[in-house]
Structure 1
């Protein structure tokens, strides 16, 4: 283990033990380095590394603080990392979405409040109004799903699914551009999800969401296979 890795491990141990709780200000660099028995240079690098991962917040002229450590903060980089993945991993991301989102939708059916349902309904109405505008339709589509998952009250699950789904938005846009009648199918699938949420039927909500995500995955898989076949034919 390098000295920087050791410094990272010791700071993390302080946080995990509760000696540095969320929002706490770290001692000055020299003092912290002395307390942990680490020289200032690797300590400085450790702080930088933990700041990149959103564990620490370095405030110029004020000091360094432990962040809230909330899932939305710690997992913020997930969406950015996903966006950097190559096109051939898009199927894997869609598959991951199929595993997570239907279960989350079923959970939302048991936890959604009237306020949650009103927000979801608002996005659904906006989707219907934008049925002729593929870009706007997909924007409200993404917002619809974010609102559904947010209704679970599970911040970790919401952050993970949002990170995965953001990268599949492009696939849904292209689907709308090249598939005739896809807007009608998309709207019908979302109507079914919303109806199940209103009924508070977890099994039906999960099934409706699974059908919707599977439709997208099936289309994407077929498009990928067609693309691969075209490449092979050219070779």
Structure 2
């Protein structure tokens, strides 16, 4: 293991142990390198790695600080995973599980402001669907706004960050291109309306059900076999019955 990995592990452990907290300034380079038992060069490499991960923030002329450790920042690398081609549907299946629970929690906690934001996102979707030509990028942006609002309304910052990471913009854009091409965009809009109605009624069971059904349909539509992919066996001789 590279000595810079010792730095990464060591500073992470300091944060977990409470020796360093969000917003704290790291000890002087010489002192920290000695306490971790590494060279100053290895320390700098480890600090750069932690800065890339959003854990540390190096400020020129002012030292290095622990960030606010915001879940959205720390989970940002998931955006790349979510945007990778996913023929197995594994990422979408995880998204379905997480967003289904997020919808249930949102139904319990959502306020008027978030309901208005979700409504505005659906109104924008409706306008985008009636534009000529239909713009998948506009639809993807409205879709992301709708789902992000529901995740935020769950009141769980980690859950919100996970939803944002798994519903990457590139993935949503590919999805809406398929939906508009297959004529399934209107159905998706109706499903969104049903989810919003459940949220407005503060009905967590119905919100979970509506969200789960919505995402499962999309999962089946875009990761399941197409009709032309289903193997066709030999014709069955039903006989004459005589």
After superposition, the CA RMSD in angstroms is 2.0
In the alignment, the residues of structure 1 paired with residue 185 and residue 48 of structure 2 have an alpha-carbon distance, to the nearest angstrom, of 46
Of residues 172, 175, 190 in structure 1, which corresponds to 2:175? Answer: 172
Q: Matched residues in 2 for 1:52 and 1:102: separation?
A: 31
Q: 1:199 to 1:9 in 2, by over 3 A?
A: same
CA contact (8 A) 1:134 1:173 kept: no
Q: Quote the residue 1:97 is aligned against.
A: 95
User: What is residue 153 of structure 2 aligned with on the other side?
Assistant: 151
Alpha-carbon contact 2:121-2:142 (below 8 Å) kept:
yes
Q: CA deviation at 1:52?
A: 1.4
SS of aligned partner of 1:157: helix
**Number of equivalent positions:** 226
- Structure ranking higher in helix proportion: 1
CA spacing shift, 1:76–1:222, aligned 2, 3 Å: closer
| Structure 1 position 77, deviation (Å) | 1.6
Length-normalised TM-score, structure 1: 0.88
Higher radius of gyration, 1 or 2 = 2
Find out whether 1:127 has 2:125 as its counterpart: yes
Equivalence for 1:115: 113
Unpaired segments ≥5 residues, structure 2: 232-242
Listed one character per residue, the Cα deviations across residues 111-148 of structure 1 (whole Å, up to 9, x for unaligned) are: 10111111111111111122132422232112111111
Q: Stretches of 4+ moved more than 6 A in 1? A: none
1:210 is aligned to 212
Change (3 A) 1:120 1:98: same
3-state SS, counterpart of residue 26 of structure 1: coil
TM-score, normalised on structure 2?
0.85
